[in-house]
């Protein structure tokens, strides 16, 4: 079994491109020692030849799984964890402490019924693409696995997806590649923390420096990244009720019946809107944009990408002369297309009303989805499905906040023209 798990990890490493750790976020709680992990730190100390941490202990919760808490006072600037790079993830005492099959809640493990709850969010399509990629990877590897039946036994897609989820949520990328970091991946996420896992190539170790003081019994946390709930849910299987890094993906298309469609597409290509890469490293074409929350009273609408507003101006152009004028204007400036308000206020109003209508449609869709999730849980509903309903509500509610802020700004902008 150890060789089997280890192979899954090596096979999946290419899919993990950043620091991804545990699968839920916790605030301070009553910390209960994990008796099953009593031998884990002594084993890790023997394996690494050094003390990993004298500050941290392992706790366990039936609701949230394993986490780390302070076993004594920690002060800002203390080095609370050091894991030598020589420590590999192939040993049973580490693997046996990772979440088991069925215990992960990232959306790649959701059923079709579960996924319907988040169909109005872009994470729905991302999850489908992610699962297609996982299945393709599995089918590519399967012939190699079948060459060693006595060693790998019968590897199923379900088991491969589980291994993929473990690695993609817990792998750290350094200059020397991707690796698992035992013990460090018990640290849970705090969106406002400034602590991170640092990789010191000179010392050949990974280290965590405390960003605040902790009293004995406090849970010690780090920040995985400045991630939206969409990323947290897809990669880690949890959400934050009030995520300051929330964002929403919006996609615009030039209608196929538009007589100027070909000319508009050529123009956009020549003055290419940058190909986007979101939190999950999904590349999207130039008609996808990330909206962040727009602060009340914002004059420039920061949070609504200028490239999105430019795209709307191009879409709403109705003559080849207008498109030529946009191309000439871009050539005279920095090459970026339609980044300034149109001189024709009626056209500028039309472009932003188009955006507002698209935002309002997304708001309406999210409102309907939220209403369906507000129905009380059925007594026969499983705990897992109930948890995923809560995750779906957090996701959609956070996106609603962003969409409504963008809609309010666009309405004010239109009213001012």
Q: Decide if pLDDT at 26 tops 70.
A: no
In eight-state DSSP terms, residue 236 is I
Closest CA to 393 of 236, 238, 282: 238
Q: What is the mean pLDDT of residues 159-167?
A: 93
Which pair of tokens denotes residue 144? 């190699």
In this predicted structure, the answer to whether residue 95 has a pLDDT above a threshold of 90 is: no
CA distance 369 to 112: 15
> Does 412 score more than 90 pLDDT?
yes
Does 375 or 5 have the greater pLDDT score? 375
Distance of alpha carbon 57 from alpha carbon 36, whole angstroms = 12
> CA dist 99 to 92, 159, 165, Å?
13, 12, 10
Q: And the tokens for 218? A: 């406090």
Q: Which token pair is 28?
A: 């301070």
Find all residues with CB under 8 Å of 371, minimum gap 6, and list them.
none
What is the predicted pLDDT for the residue at 87?
Answer: 64
Residue 126 CA from chain centroid, whole number: 11
What domains can be seen in the chain, in order of their start residue?
2-236 (3.90.1410.10), 247-416 (3.90.1420.10)
Q: Which of 72-86, 173-187, 268-282, 381-395 has the lowest mean pLDDT?
A: 268-282
**Cα 161 to Cα 155: distance, rounded to the nearest angstrom:** 10
- Structure tokens, 26: 């916790």
Candidate from 1-5, 90-94, 315-319, 363-367 with smallest mean pLDDT: 1-5
For residues 67 and 57, give the distance between their C-alpha atoms in angstroms, rounded to a whole number: 8
Query: In angstroms, what CA-CA distances link 395 with 23, 37, 39, 259, 392?
Result: 15, 33, 38, 38, 5
pLDDT of 27-49, one tens digit each? 445 567 777 778 888 888 887 78
């Amino acid at each position: 079994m150890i060789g089997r798990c280890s192979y899954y990890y090596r096979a999946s490493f290419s899919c993990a491109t950043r620091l991804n750790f545990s699968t839920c976020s916790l605030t301070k709680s009553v910390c209960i020692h994990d008796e099953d992990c009593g031998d884990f730190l002594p084993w890790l100390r023997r394996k690494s030849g050094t003390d990993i941490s004298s500050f941290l202990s392992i706790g366990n919760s039936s609701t949230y799984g394993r986490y780390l808490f302070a076993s004594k006072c920690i002060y800002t600037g203390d080095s609370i964890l050091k894991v030598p790079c020589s420590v590999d993830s192939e040993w049973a005492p580490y693997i046996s402490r990772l979440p088991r099959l069925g215990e992960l809640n990232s959306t790649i493990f959701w059923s079709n019924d579960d996924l319907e709850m988040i169909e109005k969010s872009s994470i729905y399509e991302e999850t489908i693409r992610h699962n297609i990629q996982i299945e393709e990877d599995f089918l590519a590897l399967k012939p190699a696995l079948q060459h060693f039946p006595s060693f790998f036994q019968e590897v199923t897609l379900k088991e491969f997806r589980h291994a993929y989820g473990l690695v993609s949520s817990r792998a750290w990328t350094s200059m020397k590649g991707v690796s698992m970091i035992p013990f460090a991946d018990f640290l849970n996420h705090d969106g406002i923390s400034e602590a991170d896992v640092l990789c010191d190539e000179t010392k050949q170790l990974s280290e965590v420096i405390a960003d605040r003081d902790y009293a004995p019994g406090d849970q010690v946390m780090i920040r995985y990244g400045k991630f939206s709930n969409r990323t947290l849910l897809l990669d880690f299987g949890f959400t934050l009720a009030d995520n300051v890094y929330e964002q929403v993906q919006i996609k615009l298309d030039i209608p196929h019946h538009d007589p100027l469609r070909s000319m508009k597409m050529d123009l956009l290509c020549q003055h290419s809107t940058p190909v986007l890469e979101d939190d999950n490293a999904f590349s999207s074409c130039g008609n996808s944009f990330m909206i962040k929350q727009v602060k009340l009273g914002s004059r420039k609408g920061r949070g609504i990408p200028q490239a999105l507003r430019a795209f709307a101006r191009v879409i709403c152009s109705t003559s080849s002369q207008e498109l030529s004028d946009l191309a000439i204007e871009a050539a005279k400036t920095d090459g970026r297309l339609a980044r300034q308000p149109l001189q024709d206020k009626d056209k500028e109003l039309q472009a932003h009303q188009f955006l507002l209508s698209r935002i309002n449609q997304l708001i309406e869709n999210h409102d309907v989805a939220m209403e369906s999730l507000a129905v009380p849980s059925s007594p026969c509903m499983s705990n897992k499905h109930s948890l995923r309903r809560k995750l779906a509500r957090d996701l959609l509610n956070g996106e609603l906040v962003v969409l409504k802020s963008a809609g309010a700004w666009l309405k004010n902008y239109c009213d001012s023209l």
